[in-house]
Amino acid sequence: MRLRLLTYNIRRGGTGREAALADVVAACDPDVVVLQEATHAPTVEQLARATAMRQFGSRPGASVAFLSRLPVRSFNWTRPRWAHHAFLEIILDPHGLIVFGVHLSAVHSNWTERRRLLELRALLAHARTHAPGPHVMTGDFNTLASGETLDLARLPPRLRIVTWLSGRRIRWQTIHWLLQAGYTDVFRHLNEREVGYTFPTWDAHLRLDYAFVPEAATAMLVGCRVITAHPAAQASDHFPLLTELEL
């Protein structure tokens, strides 16, 4: 079975952009969609109905939600200590693949990078206990991978000031830590020479949205690409990321 997994930050609940967001999702033809900033439950439900998804889930106060064409055995939110957002654990039927929906803390600074690292460590500890087999972590990680650069001149002035105050040169650790823990960056594994920028849609120059699998599961990987076709540029400030796996 081939699984098409979409992660998509729909920006501030998506209210008022439901039709455009549904068009983007439908054009990707995913089996499962992990949403971030999906804070408005009626919007999640509307997207599910507009894209013919049989199951969906959202929770008041939670950023991460999901839509699924496949049967879902269970789903649950966990908010570790210090985490800004809860992560979402989805178990699919019949094969039991676990999908972790992730939205790490935002803002580019050394302060928030340390917070993201704490959030990630909590997620990894949970995964070691609850997901010893094949699983996927996907979502908006709000950080850069090693070797990728942040152009401070392209940040809004208020965010540029935060970056400068925290030490100017950000020590990106979160993705490096995840790779050291034995995970594969799916997009980079399959697209060595492509930039993969997902944010912002009007001036894409940052790769913030990712999918990861344990190294032992890399044989499942079929494809991974950023969806930039119309109307993705107008529907949100993030481009969605589509990952395909052979189960």
Is the peptide bond between 157 and the residue preceding it cis, with omega within 30 degrees of 0? no
**Residue 212: CATH number of its domain:** 3.60.10.10
Report whether pLDDT(169) > 80.
Answer: no
Task: Check residue 93 and give its pLDDT.
Answer: 93
What is the rounded average pLDDT of the residues 172-201? 97
Total number of domains in the chain: 1
Domain residues for the domain of 167 are 2-246
For residue 222, which of 186, 196, 198 has the smallest C-alpha distance? 186
Report whether pLDDT(155) > 80.
Answer: no
Report whether pLDDT(133) > 90.
Answer: no
Global pTM? 0.95
Task: Check residue 214 and give its pLDDT.
Answer: 97
Report whether pLDDT(152) > 80.
Answer: no
Task: Check residue 128 and give its pLDDT.
Answer: 95
166 touches 159 (CB < 8 A): no
Inter-residue long-range contacts of 217-224, CB under 8 Å, 24+ positions, other chains counted: 217/134, 217/135, 217/184, 218/184, 218/189, 220/134, 220/245, 220/246, 220/247, 221/184, 221/186, 221/189, 221/190, 221/245, 221/246, 222/2, 222/246, 223/190, 224/186, 224/187, 224/189, 224/190, 224/191
What is the rounded average pLDDT of the residues 30-43? 98
Instruction: Please give the residue that has the higher pLDDT: either 132 or 24.
Output: 24
What is the rounded average pLDDT of the residues 127-149? 93
Residues in Cβ contact with 151 at an 8 Å cutoff, skipping those fewer than 6 apart: 205
Task: Check residue 161 and give its pLDDT.
Answer: 79
Instruction: Please give the residue that has the higher pLDDT: either 127 or 157.
Output: 127
Round the average pLDDT of the chain to a whole number and report it.
Answer: 94
Task: Check residue 132 and give its pLDDT.
Answer: 87
Task: Check residue 156 and give its pLDDT.
Answer: 82
Report whether pLDDT(164) > 80.
Answer: no
How does pLDDT run across 22-31, given as a tens digit for each residue?
A: 999 999 999 9
CA dist 176 → 80, 117, 179, 228 (Å):
21, 10, 5, 26
How does pLDDT run across 66-88, given as a tens digit for each residue?
A: 999 999 999 999 999 889 999 99
107: how many CB neighbours lie within 10 A of its CB? 16
